[in-house]
Amino acid sequence: MATRKSAEERREEILEVAVRHFAIGGYHGTSTEGIAREAGISQPYLFRLFRTKRELFLACCERAHDHLIAVFRRAAEGDTPEERMAAMGQAYAEHLLPDRHAILMQMQGYVASSDPEIQRKVRAGFGEVVAEVTRLSGASAEDVWKFIAHGMLFNVTAALELQASDWEAWAEGRAQHA
């Protein structure tokens, strides 16, 4: 006889499926029916666990921010702010950039920020990431912003599936056309 899963276990399974769907389809282009079907549950049960599509999307955004912070916390080692930021950057490249859905989910949160509630929550999550990088690294505000800016550039190149080895030639080709 199969054991019944708790609501929390089901929520976790749904979040795994929903992150993949929202990462590819975005907030407006993703069907909760498709998420429910892939998760093996009914759509009404999905809405018992997450009252609205927005609530489910925000839970996915929160998961993305929490995962990012966890990666940085595990990696932040070194004697100087520069060493700690380098370690966090390396961990980002090793653990997050290869996970296309994690990167795209982060970006979909920013895209959906035309919705005021989503904007408020995503802005708060982004603020938590910046605050945690600042706390973990001990770096100046200017250096933290450079770190975040480089991370955003990495997100874009990962989303476009540009390899580091291709980046320089690709950028030079674009600059020649400008």
Per-residue pLDDT of the chain (178 residues; tens, 9 = 90+): 557 778 788 999 999 999 999 999 999 999 999 999 999 999 999 999 999 999 999 999 999 999 999 999 999 999 999 999 999 999 988 887 778 898 899 999 999 999 999 999 999 999 999 999 999 999 999 999 999 999 998 888 888 887 766 666 766 766 666 5
State the pLDDT at residue 75: 94
Q: Please compute, for residue 144, the number of CA atoms within 13 A of its CA located in the half-sphere on the CB side.
A: 17
Whole-model pTM: value is 0.87
Structure tokens at 45: 């049960």
Structure tokens at 73: 């916390």
Q: Please compute, for residue 76, the number of CA atoms within 13 A of its CA located in the half-sphere on the CB side.
A: 15
